[in-house]
């Protein structure tokens, strides 16, 4: 096992995200908040000494995270909410930040850039 020089953030949808998703005209399934929160996005963030540093990093990338979460469900941006401000991000998502990351796999990590 190996310590990883990163912290981790778990992005968890809140009710406004579920309401948006269930209100999209093309959506033919009703998803509960519990089901949306059962398997969430986890991102690596820089190591930090204070939890506030992790929150500050999330603030810096919140718009990209917001759009990534929306695109996970619908790539058609016309279906996305128009207000994707930092305030709305925090209204739509809980973020858990954890300082310790341990890699239990001996294989090399692969980094593949996300398409922007």
pLDDT band (50, 70, 90) for residue 116: low
pLDDT above 70 covers a percentage of the chain that reads 98
Q: Does 116 or 19 have the greater pLDDT score?
A: 19
Average pLDDT (100-108) is 88
pTM for the whole thing?
0.88
The greatest distance separating any two alpha carbons of the chain, rounded to the nearest whole angstrom, comes to: 46
CB 21 within 8 A of CB 34: no
For 24-38, what is each residue's pLDDT tens digit?
A: 987 788 899 999 999
**Model confidence band, residue 22 (pLDDT cutoffs 50, 70, 90):** very high
Neighbours of 63 (CB within 10 A): 14
For residue 30, the model assigns a pLDDT of 87
Percent of the chain residues past pLDDT 90, beyond the cut? 72
Q: Which residue has the tokens 């996970």?
A: 72
């Amino acid at each position: 096992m190996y310590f990883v020089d990163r912290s981790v953030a778990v992005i968890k949808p809140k009710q406004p995200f579920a309401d948006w998703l269930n209100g999209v005209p093309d959506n033919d399934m009703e998803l509960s908040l519990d089901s949306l929160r059962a398997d969430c996005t986890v991102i690596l963030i820089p190591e930090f000494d204070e939890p506030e540093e992790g929150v500050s990093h999330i603030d810096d990338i919140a718009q990209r995270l917001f759009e990534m979460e929306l695109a996970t469900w619908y790539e058609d941006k016309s279906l996305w909410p128009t207000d994707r401000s930092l305030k709305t991000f925090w209204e739509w998502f809980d973020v858990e930040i954890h300082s310790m990351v341990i890699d239990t796999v001996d294989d090399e990590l692969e980094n593949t850039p996300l398409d922007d």
